[in-house]
Structure 1
Amino acid sequence: MYRYREIYSDIKRDILTNHYRAGTLLPTQEILTEKYAVSRITLKKALNLLADEGLISSKQGSGTYVRPRMDNQSSELLPLDLPIGVTYSHRDQKISSQLLYFNARLPTEKEQQNLRVAASDPVYEIKRIRLVNHQKYSYEHTIMPVTIAPLDEKILSGSVYDYLGTYAKIQLTDARRVVSAESADEETAAALDLPIGSPVFSIEQIAYDQKGRAFEYSVSRFTGDRSKFVLDIHLNRLY
């Protein structure tokens, strides 16, 4: 990976995890070039990528700011255009998990294709309910290669992304998402306390780390009356 993309991923993670808070100044370019031991040109390429995504904005004479993201509703919205989980999108609220199923097995053909693993490579299968302020919010069915990191029930009761970032040094930097409206099947209805056939919002996702490796294939289904999503659109800079 090019150095400027590594810096972009690192700063982006710090923004999404609220290390650099919305509305505040980023460290100066002098500080950032020293921190990452790169030239101004390399740093500028990273900052341009962040600006293209609408994460930062520059004000002449005052510096570069972390751009607010719909401040009046940010605690209720899951952004579709940013690769983050519920823990970060709802970080001002109480987030918890209810583990329904956890085991290891061999991958299906579709999982092999999405995760780029062989038929003989074991994967974790995880089913859990995510709760926001003690209310059921989503039902997640997640597949991860066993080689990514050791997992257990204690880890799965919290934020998996936090664990992967801290202990496995894996950063979620990119994701491919397919969104759709569905009718709740028997399994989803039971998990979310819904009548069978109730409308649910589905996000099918392949998540990639900072090295471009697919480390998660998941399908998350959200209750129609408790879920809100946002998609910010930004015009790319012309070079």
Structure 2
Amino acid sequence: MYRYREIYSDIKRDILTNHYRAGALLPTQEILTEKYQVSRLTLKKSLNLLSDEGLVYSKQGSGTYVRPRMDSQSTEMLPLDLPVGVTYSHRDQKISSKLIHFNARLPTEIEQKNLQILSNDPVYEIKRVRLINKKVYSFEHSVMPVSIAPIDEKVLSGSVYDYLGSHANLQLTDARRVVYAEPANKETSQVLEVSLDSPIFVIDQIAYDQKGRAFEYSTSRFVSNHNKFVLDVHLNKNN
């Protein structure tokens, strides 16, 4: 990966995880070039990518700012375009997990395709209920290659992404999401505490790290009348 894209991904992650907050001024170019040990030209390419995505904007003589997001103060409207987990999207609330299923096995054909692995590459299969302030929020079914890092039940009681960042130097920077609705089956209805065949909001996600490698294939299910999602659209004027 080109250096400017690595820097772009790093700053983007810091914006999406609220390290750089909406409306805040980014560190100066002098600070950023020193931090990443690159030229101003390389840094400018990174900032241009962020600007094209509508994540930052510049003010003449003032600097580069993180662009405010619509409804950014609403705890009900969750950004659909941010590839981050519950811990980041609800960082000011109490997050807990209830482990439903955890084992290691060989991948299915669709898991091989989405994770870009071989049929004999073992994967973790994880099913968790995520709770916010002790209330059921989502039902997550995740599959990850065993090779990325050793994972146990203690890790799964908290944020897997935080663990991977600190123990495997793995950072979630991009994701492909497919959003749809489906009726709750027996397992989902029991876990989310809803009636059988109730409408469920579903997000399928393939998560990628800073090197562009797929490291997670997951399906998250939400009670339709308990969650709202928002997608901000930014048009690149150069296109």
- Distance, in Å, in 1 between the alignment partners of 2:36 and 2:105 is 40
Deviating more after overlay: 62-71 vs 157-166: 62-71
Please report how far the alpha carbon of residue 68 of structure 1 lies from its aligned counterpart in structure 2 after TM superposition.
Answer: 2.0
Please tell me the residue identity of whatever aligns with 1:183.
P
Aligned to 1:200: 200
The answer as to whether partners of 1:182 and 1:201 remain within 8 angstroms in 2 is yes
Structure 2: distance between partners of 1:226 and 1:13:
27
Q: What residue in structure 1 maps to residue 73 of structure 2?
A: 72
Matching residue of 1:5: 5
Structure 1 stretch 211-220 or stretch 7-16: which is displaced more?
A: 7-16
Q: When the two structures are superposed, what TM-score results if normalisation uses the length of structure 1?
A: 0.96
- Cross-structure match for 2:165: 165
How far did residue 77 of structure 1 move? 2.9
% same residue: 73
- 1:76–1:90 Cα contact (<8 Å) kept: no
Query: What amino acid is the match of 1:222?
Result: F
- Corresponding residue for 1:183? 183
- Any idea what SS the aligned residue of 2:148 has? coil
1-structure distance, mates of 2:46, 2:177: 24
Q: CA deviation at 1:237?
A: 4.6
Residue type of the partner of 1:194? V
Would you say the 8 A contact 1:26–1:65 is kept in 2? yes
- Partner of 2:172, secondary structure, is coil
Q: Alpha carbon RMSD of aligned pairs, Å?
A: 1.2
Kept in 2, the 8 Å contact 1:77–1:89? The answer is no
Compute the displacement of 1:71 (Å): 2.6
Amino acid aligned to 2:183 = S
> How much does 1:133 deviate?
1.6
- Amino acid in structure 2 at the alignment position of 1:218: S
Structure 2 distance, partners of 1:134, 1:52, is: 39
SS of 2:147's partner is: coil
SS in 1 for 2:137: strand
For 1:216, the aligned partner's letter is E
- For residues 37 and 229 of structure 1, the distance between their equivalents in structure 2, rounded to whole angstroms, comes to 38
**Corresponding pairs, count:** 238
Q: In the alignment, which residue of structure 1 is the partner of 2:103?
A: 103
Does structure 2 retain, via aligned residues, the 8 Å contact 1:77–1:90?
no
User: Which segments of 5 or more consecutive residues in structure 2 lack a partner in the other structure?
Assistant: none
